[in-house]
Each structure stands twice: as structure tokens, then as C-alpha cells.
Amino acid sequence: MRAPRSERKVALVTGASRGLGRTVAEFLTAEGYSVILTARGTSDLEGVGTNLSRSGADVHCVAGDVTDPRHRSQLAEHVRAAGRLDLLVNNASELGPTPLPELSTYPLDGLRRVFEANVVAPLALVQILLPWLERSRGRIVNISSDAALGGYPRWGGYGASKAALDLVSHTLGEELKVRGVSVVSVDPGDLRTAMHQAAFPGQDISDRPLPSVTVPFWAWLLEQDPALVTGHRFRAQADRWEIPA
């Protein structure tokens, strides 16, 4: 019952080798998407790819850094080869220097790298892939964070970049309405991931749920009319997911 390749939806997921990105990639392939996956860690990414391929999924792994324009062009080449793009999940994120520094002493080069990975790169991918997304009336999902709203001490660098990404998502949502492309921002909530562990070095984070806790949210979001949800921000672990009035 899997559709032939040309009819299958295609998704590109960044940061797909671990944590949330991996969970999203697994859910999408189970749902019948062909996926193009990218992450910096080659061996982790290949591991995910091998696992998914074994279950019959159509998976293309392209290791690299989304802040590198050449890597982004390479991703666009894979989209061209796939012949379509229905979903872009900008999940790859840079936490910044750890332990997380306070803003008063935040290394500015580090801050630039955080913004480069969390704001510039996702937007650059949107720019380069927009023709494909437009053709399929596709969706863009930008992964945000509670830190974008929080004002939590030492989360200022990462939080500011995610707040900027939220505004990028909101604005793109408005700008791309006429072109039929939907943009949402998703705060996945606290998760038991390598990134979360890096933010809390040496602490026990086993009380946080695994990224699979977000699966029902992805199932819900991807079944919503893209035009109704565009421009909005969702919390994957909230007790309500409302369709905006």
C-alpha cells in the first residue's frame, strides 16, 4: 500500500540524526514520506538512515552543516532529484557555548554562531527551497523553544535566536500566504535529548519525556489544513492544540 516513489510526499528534516529530528524522521517515513535527512554527525545520521531503510523507507542521508551554503545547495540538489518537496522541518539548532553563559559575558562569536544556525540557516533553506514548496503547496515547520518566551537566566543567547526564528516564522506565514505555503513554529517542550543534557551538564534529566512524546502532535499538525494553521505557534506538549479562530 505504499505509493510509488513519484507520488510519495517528500520531507527534508535537518538535525535528523538524534533526538527530536530523528523522531520526526521516523514518524514521517512510517507515514509514507520519502525523507531527505541532514545532520553534522555522519555516523549517527548513517545509523538512522540504515535503520529506516531496513523498514522499507525511502531515505536519503546528506551529512553536513546547514550553516554552510554549499551544504544547503547540496540539499537543494537532493530535492531536485526527488522531484518535489512537501515539508521542510528546520530542526537543527545550535545551543551555544556550554555551560550556558549569562548574556553579560556571552562570547559574541558564539552568539553569532547561534544566530547563524538558528535564524539565518533556516531562512536560507526556505529561500532556496521555496519554489519546490510552492509547487506542492507545502509546509514549513520551524522548531522553536520555550526559551524564546522565557527570559530564563543563561538561556538568553539560545532564547533570543529562537525568538527571532518565531518572528521569522510568523512573518513568513503572512508573506507566503498568497503563494500557498504554510509556516508554523513549534515549541516541542522539554525533552530528554542530547541537547537538553548539554544545557544541564552533569544533571539528571531523566524526568523529561523522550522525544516520542511529540508523535501525537505531529500526527495532528500534519492532518490540519495548512492554510488554517499558518503563521501560528504551537506547543507540542500542551494540553490543547487549538485550530486558530
Partner 1 sequence: MNPFSAPAFAVPSALEADRPPEERGVARDRVRLLLSTRTTDEDRNFSDLTDILQPGDLLVVNESATLPARLPARSRVGEYFLHLSTRYGPTLWVAEARWGAGTPGPLPLAVGDRIDTAGLSARWVAEFPGIPRLGFVEFDRDPFDAMAEFGRPIRYGYVPHDYPLDAYQTVFARVPGSAEMPSAARPFSETLVRSLRGRGVEFAALTLHAGVSSLEVGPDGGATDLLYPEPFRVPAATVEAVARARARGGRVIAVGTTVARALESASGSRGLHPAEGFTRLYISPERPPRIFDGLLTGFHTPTSSHLALLAAFAGAPMLERSYRAALERGYLWHEFGDSQLILRDRLPAGAF
Residues recognised as catalytic = 158
User: Nearest approach, Cβ of 178 to partner 1 (angstroms)?
Assistant: 25
Q: Under a CB-based contact definition with an 8 Å cutoff, are residues 122 and 168 in contact?
A: yes
Q: In the range 38-97, which residues lie near partner 1 by CB under 8 A? A: 55-56
Nearer to partner 1, 113 or 208 (CB): 208
15 sits in the region (left: phi over 0; alpha: psi -120 to 50; else beta) called left
Residue 27 sits in the site that holds partner 1 (CB under 8 A): yes
* Residue in the structure block whose three cell numbers are 489544513: 225
Measured CA to CA, the distance from residue 188 to residue 90 in angstroms comes to 13
Q: Which amino acid would we find at residue 55? A: S
Q: What is the dihedral of CA 153, 94, 190, 209, to 10 degrees?
A: -140
Q: In the range 186-245, which residues lie near partner 1 by CB under 8 A? A: 209-210, 212-216, 219-220, 222-223, 239-243, 245
Interface with partner 1 (CB under 8 A), residue total 25
Task: Work out which of 31, 77, 102, 174 binds partner 1, going by CB under 8 A.
Answer: 31
Nearer to partner 1, 181 or 229 (CB): 229
Task: Work out which of 1, 105, 151, 207 binds partner 1, going by CB under 8 A.
Answer: 1
The full DSSP string for 126-154 is HHHHHHHHHHTT-EEEEE--THHHH--TT
Nearer to partner 1, 30 or 198 (CB): 30
Q: What is the 3-class SS of 69-83, one letter each residue?
A: HHHHHHHHHHHHHHC
Nearer to partner 1, 88 or 229 (CB): 229
Residues that bind partner 1 in the complex, under the rule CB under 8 A: 1, 26-27, 30-32, 55-56, 209-210, 212-216, 219-220, 222-223, 239-243, 245
